[in-house]
Chain A
């Protein structure tokens, strides 16, 4: 069986050559396109399940007529007002986290570069909490149509700062040792956690109510306005990231080799960082910190379609959307009428996966 992923320590381009995408990708293309189609079908199926299933039992006919706008008002409010924005948000956030993970792993040439592990999510969380606690006065000065954008923008800035920090580490070393990357993530997570604690300390009771809901994470707060703003931000970021696929392939040769083959390495890294921060920030702002999708989805996608980013990027995005749709569906159905936080479900999938990744790595080294 091939190794589950690219090697974890990639300071030299030569290590990468063995798993370079070009040849296997061309040979396996028809199979890969079927796989992409299957992923798309699975995502669509889960999205439909997200519309059709929930604690309230509605027949397929009721769901269809509610979607067509001809159902009874209650079914329409449930399907159109509660489930649909939630499904849209789950798909967008899942795809955004997965593709950000893919891009960060590609740029840093390190398979452990999950937005949650390296601190990008924590940066976004810090920005969002800051906006909730300190943003009240700022929001009052903004014109009304701009106010709902404050949270995603603040989260984007926080995520962007964390990404810039991790990238600056990468620049110094050429490529980063996995341990350095994880330790940097530990540091960013600890600092962000401490400042969030400080903000919670300073918050009023009303703000604390918002924070309690938000820090537990979840897609339950989604209405069309929230889902629309987040989905718009993430869609822009997804387009930006998918366009980087070729550049990310070249980067796998090592930055110097990529540069000699005509790639504007710094521009690509900046773009990847920017779009990742936008996708992670927008997702974190509305759904709270959701871990591990950015780690699990790219790895599963790599197992299925190989390392070439032109297939890997869309495959990971679809898989991320499918995973978060499935996790959200699970938390909605597991103990109705209550609902556990969705971050719990993703951590339950992701934690063991992460361990398995580490153990596989240790076994290979031994």
Chain B
């Protein structure tokens, strides 16, 4: 009995050793960049530096080349040694990446770690592009890219300027467990709704907060906005909205449910102008919106 337990323990230890023996070999090459954050990964590829990116985190889902790279786990719980095992010489991190200790440990092992600019608005995107351009030594490409972004953004804003209605929009980041979680002020969704000439129906509170079905009816949204990942496991947006008890809201009654790619909608990256245009078209289906 007893020896069997000890044997088990020993077997477990041996198993761990064997697991390591099977570990893969690395080839050290210069210009190995690890990008933490879907927004920064997208910019790295747009700047033509995609071939130097060796890995990203779970939030990097665009472009498909970035999505196909090895993942070091969730942005906010990075493992220091996991990152180091990929032998990066540069780690470019979204300010949300962490824990702080892990980033400090990575830097202590001699890897350059740089954190990008913080903020949830379209104004921050040129700063992100400039940051990536500096870090990846592609300043010229970054300037072109930032200029193009600003032109696209200006064109979108000009095209939306004639709109005079601002429908009330309720953004729900998740419907899990029957308690929808809505985006209040100070969130990326709030900024996007504003850019697309909508009114955030949940402007009464800050940050992401759960709202009951009854409170949602009280907020009287004309449109319900959902990221695509909130619909996993539901047949259609309409069934999801009904299942969450939101069928009695004005948006639920009229069937005005808008679903968008979560990273594109909330990431504040290069695709933000297109995301604003897409959202604006959905919010103002009857407007002509010339120039979009």
Which residue from chain B places its CB closest to the CB of A305 in the assembled complex? B2
Chain B, interface size: which category?
35 or more
Which residue from chain A places its CB closest to the CB of B2 in the assembled complex? A304
**Are the CB atoms of A221 and B207 closer together than 8 Å?**
no
Contact residues in A for B5 (Cβ distance below 8 Å)? 300, 303-304
Contact residues in B for A326 (Cβ distance below 8 Å)? 9, 12-13, 16
**Nearest Cβ distance between residue B198 and chain A, in whole angstroms?**
22
**Are the CB atoms of B77 and A220 closer together than 8 Å?**
yes
Measured CA separation A204–B102 after assembly (Å): 22
Which residue from chain B places its CB closest to the CB of A334 in the assembled complex? B19
Contact residues in A for B20 (Cβ distance below 8 Å)? 53, 57, 333
Which residue from chain B places its CB closest to the CB of A220 in the assembled complex? B79
**Are the CB atoms of B79 and A332 closer together than 8 Å?**
yes
**Are the CB atoms of B99 and A78 closer together than 8 Å?**
no
**Known contacts A57-B23, A204-B207; is A221 also within 8 Å of B82 by CB?**
no
**Are the CB atoms of B108 and A339 closer together than 8 Å?**
no
**Known contacts A54-B81, A55-B85, A220-B77; is A303 also within 8 Å of B207 by CB?**
no
Contact residues in A for B2 (Cβ distance below 8 Å)? 35, 303-304
Instruction: Report which of B26, B102, B109, B209 forms a contact with A78, defined as CB distance below 8 A.
Output: B109
Number of interface residues of A (CB under 8 A): 47
**Nearest Cβ distance between residue A204 and chain B, in whole angstroms?**
7
**Are the CB atoms of B85 and A322 closer together than 8 Å?**
no
Question: A182 on the interface (CB 8 Å rule)?
Answer: no
Measured CA separation A53–B18 after assembly (Å): 11
**Are the CB atoms of B6 and A42 closer together than 8 Å?**
yes
**Are the CB atoms of A337 and B109 closer together than 8 Å?**
no
Contact residues in B for A190 (Cβ distance below 8 Å)? none
Which residue from chain A places its CB closest to the CB of B207 in the assembled complex? A205
Contact residues in A for B6 (Cβ distance below 8 Å)? 38, 42
Pick the interface stretch among A122-130, A208-216, A254-262: A208-216
**Are the CB atoms of A81 and B98 closer together than 8 Å?**
no
Contact residues in A for B23 (Cβ distance below 8 Å)? 57
Measured CA separation A14–B150 after assembly (Å): 82
1/0 contact string of B97-118 vs chain A (CB within 8 Å): 0110110110011100000000
Contact residues in B for A209 (Cβ distance below 8 Å)? 76, 96, 98
1/0 contact string of B1-40 vs chain A (CB within 8 Å): 1100110011011001101100100100000000000000
**Are the CB atoms of B1 and A74 closer together than 8 Å?**
no
Question: A46 on the interface (CB 8 Å rule)?
Answer: yes
**Nearest Cβ distance between residue A339 and chain B, in whole angstroms?**
4
**Are the CB atoms of A42 and B108 closer together than 8 Å?**
no
Contact residues in A for B105 (Cβ distance below 8 Å)? 77, 81-82, 223
**Are the CB atoms of A46 and B81 closer together than 8 Å?**
no
Which residue from chain A places its CB closest to the CB of B73 in the assembled complex? A338
**Are the CB atoms of A55 and B110 closer together than 8 Å?**
no
**Nearest Cβ distance between residue A150 and chain B, in whole angstroms?**
16
1/0 contact string of A189-211 vs chain B (CB within 8 Å): 00000000000010011000110
**Nearest Cβ distance between residue B108 and chain A, in whole angstroms?**
5
**Are the CB atoms of B16 and A49 closer together than 8 Å?**
yes
**Nearest Cβ distance between residue A289 and chain B, in whole angstroms?**
15
**Are the CB atoms of B79 and A333 closer together than 8 Å?**
no
**Are the CB atoms of A78 and B79 closer together than 8 Å?**
no
Measured CA separation A331–B82 after assembly (Å): 11
**Are the CB atoms of A337 and B86 closer together than 8 Å?**
yes
**Are the CB atoms of B209 and A53 closer together than 8 Å?**
no
Question: A187 on the interface (CB 8 Å rule)?
Answer: no
Contact residues in A for B80 (Cβ distance below 8 Å)? 82, 220
Contact residues in B for A303 (Cβ distance below 8 Å)? 1-2, 5
Measured CA separation A178–B82 after assembly (Å): 43
**Are the CB atoms of A213 and B17 closer together than 8 Å?**
no
| Contacts of A212-229 to chain B: CB distance below 8 A | 212-213, 216, 218, 220-223, 226
Measured CA separation A341–B9 after assembly (Å): 21
Question: A142 on the interface (CB 8 Å rule)?
Answer: no
**Are the CB atoms of A223 and B10 closer together than 8 Å?**
no
**Are the CB atoms of B81 and A83 closer together than 8 Å?**
yes
Contact residues in B for A82 (Cβ distance below 8 Å)? 80-81, 84, 105, 109
A53, A221, A329: residue with the most chain B Cβ atoms closer than 10 Å: A221
**Known contacts A78-B81, A213-B99; is A338 also within 8 Å of B110 by CB?**
no
Contact residues in A for B99 (Cβ distance below 8 Å)? 210, 213, 220-221
Measured CA separation A56–B23 after assembly (Å): 9
Q: 10 closest Cβ contacts across the A-B interface?
A: A337-B82, A338-B73, A55-B85, A77-B109, A339-B79, A56-B85, A77-B108, A337-B72, A54-B81, A221-B99
A-B CB contact pairs (8 Å), 17 listed:
A42-B6, A42-B13, A49-B17, A55-B85, A56-B84, A74-B84, A77-B110, A78-B84, A212-B77, A220-B79, A220-B80, A220-B102, A226-B101, A326-B12, A333-B20, A337-B83, A337-B86
Binding site for A on B (CB under 8 A): 1-2, 5-6, 9-10, 12-13, 16-17, 19-20, 23, 26, 55, 70-74, 76-77, 79-86, 96, 98-99, 101-102, 104-105, 108-110, 207, 209-210
Binding site for B on A (CB under 8 A): 1, 35, 38, 42, 45-46, 49, 53-57, 73-74, 77-78, 81-83, 201, 204-205, 209-210, 212-213, 216, 218, 220-223, 226, 300, 303-304, 322, 326, 329-330, 332-333, 336-339, 341
Q: Given contacts A226-B101, A322-B9, A337-B70, could you give 9 more A-B pairs where the C-beta distance is less than 8 Å?
A: A42-B13, A45-B13, A57-B20, A77-B110, A209-B76, A209-B98, A210-B98, A213-B77, A336-B82
